[in-house]
Amino acid sequence: MTFTPDPASRILTLADAVVWRNQLRREGKQLVITNGCFDLLHRGHAAYLRESRELGDALLVLVNSDASVRALKGPSRPVVDEYSRSYLLCSLRCVDAAVIFNSARCAAELAALAPDLYVKGGDYTVEKLDPEERGALQKAGTRIVFKPFVPGFSTTRLIERIQS
């Protein structure tokens, strides 16, 4: 994938992301992956994504689909649709690409992409990772990194503030 400033062109299918990932590997570059809902992008997300990108040569964000967010967060979520969330993420300089995934967990995507590094927020530990996701990462030899939250930033709290 050649970098383009157009965020829409950096929202990839899994198949296109695998081709890009293989290109990065041939070039000796490190791929960092993180995943999440990213429903209302806030400063905590921006710091987390920037710090994640600094760990490697490229950052790919696996974005929960609308149906996946509803299953995880409830019927009132997401606030922002999957395409718009992905577009906004790809608008950030630190995000190289995004892939939308439909299931509650992204084990299949992690297995297909075999990232060099995988980053999760500080509320996770290796033991708290989904067993299938953890298995896919371990099989790929992926280094797992946990980043602390920026205090005071939470999508749920932000939604509660907006509603009150």
Whether the CB-CB separation of 34 and 118 falls below 8 Å is answered with yes
Tell me what pLDDT residue 160 has: 72
Tell me what pLDDT residue 159 has: 65
* Per-domain residue ranges of the chain: 7-163
Q: Which CATH superfamily is domain 7-163 in?
A: HUPs (3.40.50.620)
- Distance (Å, rounded) from C-alpha 94 to C-alpha 46? 9
Neighbouring C-alpha atoms within 13 Å toward the C-beta of 14 = 14
What pLDDT tens digit does each residue of the chain (164 aa) get? 666 789 999 999 999 999 999 999 999 999 999 999 998 888 888 999 999 999 999 999 999 999 999 999 899 899 999 999 999 999 999 999 999 999 989 999 999 999 999 999 877 888 989 999 999 999 999 999 998 876 666 666 766 777 78
Tell me what pLDDT residue 41 has: 86
**C-alpha 41: how far from chain center:** 12
Per-residue CA distances from 79 to 49, 59, 72, 75, 97 (Å): 20, 24, 13, 10, 22
Tell me what pLDDT residue 55 has: 98
Query: What pTM, to 2 d.p., does this model score?
Result: 0.91
Tell me what pLDDT residue 162 has: 72
Tell me what pLDDT residue 40 has: 84
